[in-house]
Structure 1
Amino acid sequence: MNNAPGTGVPRTALAAIPIAVMLFALSQTAGAQALANQSVDDRLNMLMRVVDEQQKQINSLEQQVVNLEMSQRGRGLSGPATGPDGTTVAEQPGADGLPVPLPPLAQVSPGAPAPGSATGTATGVPVTPPTPDESSNSSGATAGGLPAASDGSGAGAVGQTQKAAQPVRTQSEEAVAQQQNAALFAHSLTFDWGISDTYYDRRQLQLSGFLALDAIFLGNINLGETKSHQVMADLDTRYGLTDRISVDVDVPYIYRHSNFIVGGAGGAANTLSDASANSSDIGDVNFGIYYQFLKETNNLPDLVGSLRIKAPTGSSPFGIKLQQVDADNTNLVAPSKLPTGTGFWNITAGMSVLKTYDPVVLFGSLSYTYNVARSFADISSVEGQTEPATVKLGDIVQFGGGVALAFSDKDSASISYTMALEPESETKAPGSSYSKVPGSETAAAALNFGLNHVVNKHLTINGSVSVGLTPDAPNFVVGVRFPYTF
């Protein structure tokens, strides 16, 4: 083998370098001619590929030269070093006095200008900067191969950063969020059908008589009991107008059954008699609008405001007469029918908050319900008696909070507490002022348990059980809902 004088490097290796340089120049010339008939996007993409391939070839040649030099001096290499991109690069020289090998040429990222040239490509071929319309291809990618922004602003990287800052919810956590916010912030339609059974069991002491000398009660003392089931099936239709505004309308249908039990049959307090009443009709239709003030991020929760209006489409409880249904027991009276609505318009303004700490979801809500006063031709329950009046129900303040735990991507469980406070109602006869109705103030508290299962991307099953904690709350409410999103 012939070596170059004074170097110890084979002449064949040194001869390979000019040949490589010449091939490099020829490939550049051929590439520049081929670029003439191509679009700006194709030219840039092809040039980037050419640059990458040429850079790998130069790195390989440089490594071969270094290996030959080290071999001539008796310092063989243990193995080729590789760079972060997997290409072979020269090993850094030690303190042996060897010359530092040439560094690799700068890698140019797709779509970035070459070093030292603001308008040229990595190969030095000048190009005209593409216009916004030309810079995106049919697949939504820019000329440099980067994904274009979906809003057309060109700030794809910024949008991706903002999206990444939002916590990613599992399907079960998203089901909890939609259940608690009762809103749909997307251009989607959801039919949420549900059925529930509300059970009441009320016992009260009934006194029929009078006090003698303000100390002795003369008359009958009976224990009355009312057992009631209210089965409601409703369809809540929700639609997301924008990513922050949602509307819905809920149409319920109600079946009610009540059983009234009173002692005193045949004049004996321990002898019971009972009567039943049934009714079914449409309930109070309500509709609402929701606005998402804050979208959940790593530091901020979801904050959703709502405004709901309920119309008195169900049958009113006022003017329903009580009838004696057992001739042998004058204490037993029952209504001729059962109401399926409140008889009032009301407006509810609320705010709900939700924060995800995977796998835990925390939520809470606060609302205020204003009951609009309404005049009725008759509010008396006594047969043969008419009593016109204006009635104003107390405004309701309701608050609550809870936590949900996602067991898996499709299943979660929740527990929450709710409290509703309603002051005394008021009535006003024509020509007089309002007077309070004794005993009409209520405080209803309940403990709620829920299970959610995501069947698929369209259907979710939400089961719930609510247990009353105060006498004004129902004994229990059992329900299941099937929201289906198109």
Structure 2
Amino acid sequence: MLRKAKILCSLATLCLSTNVVAEEETEVAKRPQTVQDVIVRSGVLTPKGQVAFDASVSFTQNSSNKVAVVGYTVLPALLVGRIEVSDSDRTTMTASLSMRYGLRDDTELEVRWPYVYRSDQITTRPIEDGSESETINTSKSGGGMGDIEFALRHQLNFETTPYWIAGLTLKSAYGKSPYEIDINETDNTYEEIPTGSGFWSIEPAISMLYPTDPAVIFLSFSYIYNFKDSVNVNGESTDIDLGDTISLGAGVGFALNPDLSLSMGFGHRTILDSKINGEKPEDSKLLHLDTLNFGVNYAFSPTSSISINAQAGLTEDSPDFQLTVRVPFSI
């Protein structure tokens, strides 16, 4: 569940910023795509023989506050044990480079290389137990290559709207797995920062684009299946089956002019229960992640554009805030 797969951003990318398109409907693609281009031209993927790149930097902030009761209650007003209050703040920076190649006018191949840097700060303090312990501050930071992804997309129709795009993404386990890192027994934290999920996954997806001048309505659905694997936990081989993820997204993009576009949308993800050795842990539960997205895209040259997307979390398990800056360019 460390991996927080893309929800609405990948779909908004199709609408706003990532492919090479024609300046006119009958011309060869020359620049990354905007909403206006989707309205003018029926092909929304990278044309045959063309290469497009996407350099991006993403900043994610996630925080949580919780109270843990360690002990038991003799009477409703009498607690034997201790109460701990903890506050955790996690900042993640992800820099990635994607390359897309048009196998045909209706099919493209993509490879994405991410670099992940994370900084975690956890503050824990026991209260109301007579303890003389001071507040415990734990900080961990580090980075490395994340999980490399491979994607194949195919546009199903050209002549009629809405346009349908089917996709299949394979995520590797290239990044540093959390199960490869030792745990500090003193504060129960990782000795190093993990940069990957540790598991391979496959994600089939279907997206819809409906041009209605001057806007484009988009919908998406995907299912992430994680391959279970055996990992070393406390010196023992343990079968881990991460919960699969169901993702839904919807939104609309507005073309203010041929070069400037705005977008807004909603994303939802449900992460299903995980299993350990074929059984669900007692504390396993469904996770629901809802987000609001706002984006702007500007094509500043015939071959380049810039896209800025802000995401706000709506549920407790969602990231508080995410800001992504992309610079798609073609050659």
User: What range is the shorter-chain TM-score in?
Assistant: 0.7 to 0.9
Q: What does 1:73-472 correspond to in 2, within 5 Å?
A: 172-173=34-35, 183-212=45-74, 216-264=78-126, 268=131, 271-295=134-158, 297=160, 300-318=161-179, 320-323=181-184, 332-378=187-233, 385-428=234-277, 433-436=278-281, 438-472=283-317
Distance 1:209 1:175, change over 3 A: farther
Q: What's the CA shift string for 1:288-310, capped at 9, x where partnerless? A: 1111101264xx21110001100
- 1:474 pairs with 2:328: no
Q: What's the CA shift string for 1:79-109, capped at 9, x where partnerless? A: xxxxxxxxxxxxxxxxxxxxxxxxxxxxxxx
- Name the CA distance, whole Å, in 1 between partners of 2:307 and 2:38: 9
Give 1:205 deviation, angstroms.
1.1
Distance 1:397 1:296, change over 3 A: farther
- Name the CA distance, whole Å, in 1 between partners of 2:120 and 2:145: 18
Q: What is the alpha-carbon root mean square deviation over aligned residues? A: 2.6
Contact 1:172-1:408 at 8 Å conserved across structures: no
Distance 1:342 1:296, change over 3 A: farther
Distance 1:387 1:435, change over 3 A: farther
Q: Which has the larger radius of gyration?
A: 1
Give 1:267 deviation, angstroms.
5.5
What SS does the aligned partner of 1:295 have?
coil
Counterpart residue type for residue 99 of structure 2: T
- Name the CA distance, whole Å, in 2 between partners of 1:202 and 1:422: 19
Contact 2:36-2:258 at 8 Å conserved across structures: no
TM-score, normalising length from structure 2? 0.83
- Name the CA distance, whole Å, in 2 between partners of 1:274 and 1:206: 17
Question: Post-superposition, which runs of at least 4 consecutive aligned residues in structure 1 deviate over 4 A?
Answer: 174-177, 213-216, 265-271
Counterpart residue type for residue 306 of structure 1: G
**Structure ranking higher in helix proportion:** 1
Any stretches of 5+ residues in structure 2 without a counterpart? Answer: 1-24, 27-31
Counterpart residue type for residue 482 of structure 1: V
Q: What does 1:1-20 correspond to in 2, within 5 Å?
A: none
Distance 1:348 1:341, change over 3 A: same
- Name the CA distance, whole Å, in 1 between partners of 2:104 and 2:313: 37
**Which residue number in structure 1 is paired with residue 11 of structure 2?**
none
- Name the CA distance, whole Å, in 2 between partners of 1:171 and 1:392: 38
Contact 1:307-1:348 at 8 Å conserved across structures: yes
- Name the CA distance, whole Å, in 2 between partners of 1:313 and 1:226: 27
Contact 1:468-1:475 at 8 Å conserved across structures: yes
**Which residue number in structure 2 is paired with residue 128 of structure 1?**
none
- Name the CA distance, whole Å, in 2 between partners of 1:414 and 1:270: 50
Give 1:386 deviation, angstroms.
2.7
Q: Number of residue pairs matched?
A: 298
- Name the CA distance, whole Å, in 2 between partners of 1:365 and 1:296: 20
Distance 1:415 1:270, change over 3 A: farther
Distance 1:392 1:176, change over 3 A: farther
Contact 1:183-1:247 at 8 Å conserved across structures: no
Q: What's the CA shift string for 1:310-353, capped at 9, x where partnerless? A: 0000111125444266xxxxxx4432112111111111000001
Identity across the alignment (%): 28
Distance 1:208 1:461, change over 3 A: same
Q: What's the CA shift string for 1:207-236, capped at 9, x where partnerless? A: 222343798431111211110001000001
